């Protein structure tokens, strides 16, 4: 659960950092889009039944690693911030967390005795 909370805070940082650190428009737009996505997936993944949603942050973390080159960030602080958050999101999204009960099971649950 702690990994999801930290990811939520990282998403919040992505949204407020452009205003605090005066990012250029392309970097600010990327943070304003990626931040809420990370927050949403992290909050949903807090509960055991939806713990797998944590993996949906992996593409967003990869985007944060390549965005400075694709969008052509003009400031070093934006590059460092987005890449640092991207690495942390990838690491924290790979932490499974404890699941005490079995939920669902898909089609194979129909044939269990």
Average pLDDT over residues 88-97: 92
With tokens 């690693």, the residue in question is 65
Helix (H, G, I), strand (E, B) or coil at 104: coil
pLDDT band at 96 (very low <50, low <70, confident <90, very high): confident
Report DSSP letters for 22-74, one per residue. T--HHHHHHHHHHHHHHHHHHHHTTSGGGGGGGGGGHHHHHHHHHHHHHHT--
- Residues whose CB is less than 8 angstroms from the CB of residue 3 and which lie 6 or more positions away in sequence, other chains included: 54, 92, 93, 95, 97
Spans of all domains in the chain = 2-97
Task: Examine the pLDDT at 5 and tell me if it is beyond 70.
Answer: yes
pLDDT of residue 33: 96
Task: Examine the pLDDT at 112 and tell me if it is beyond 70.
Answer: no
Q: Report the number of secondary-structure helices (H) and strands (E) in the chain.
A: 4, 0
pLDDT of residue 66: 96
Average pLDDT over residues 35-44: 96
Task: Examine the pLDDT at 91 and tell me if it is beyond 70.
Answer: yes
Average pLDDT over residues 40-64: 92
* Residue-wise pLDDT tens digits, 56-89: 999 999 999 999 999 999 899 999 999 999 999 9
The whole-chain average pLDDT of the chain stands at 90
């Amino acid at each position: 659960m702690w990994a999801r909370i930290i990811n939520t805070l990282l998403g919040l940082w992505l949204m407020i950092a452009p205003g605090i650190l005066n990012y250029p428009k392309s970097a600010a737009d990327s943070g304003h889009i990626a931040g809420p996505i990370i927050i949403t997936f992290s909050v949903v993944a807090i509960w055991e039944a939806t713990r797998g949603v944590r993996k949906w942050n992996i593409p967003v973390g990869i985007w944060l690693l390549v965005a400075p080159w694709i969008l052509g960030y003009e400031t070093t602080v934006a590059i460092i911030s987005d890449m640092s958050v991207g690495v942390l999101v990838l690491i924290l999204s790979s932490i499974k967390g404890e699941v005490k009960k079995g939920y669902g099971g898909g089609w194979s649950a129909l044939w269990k005795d």
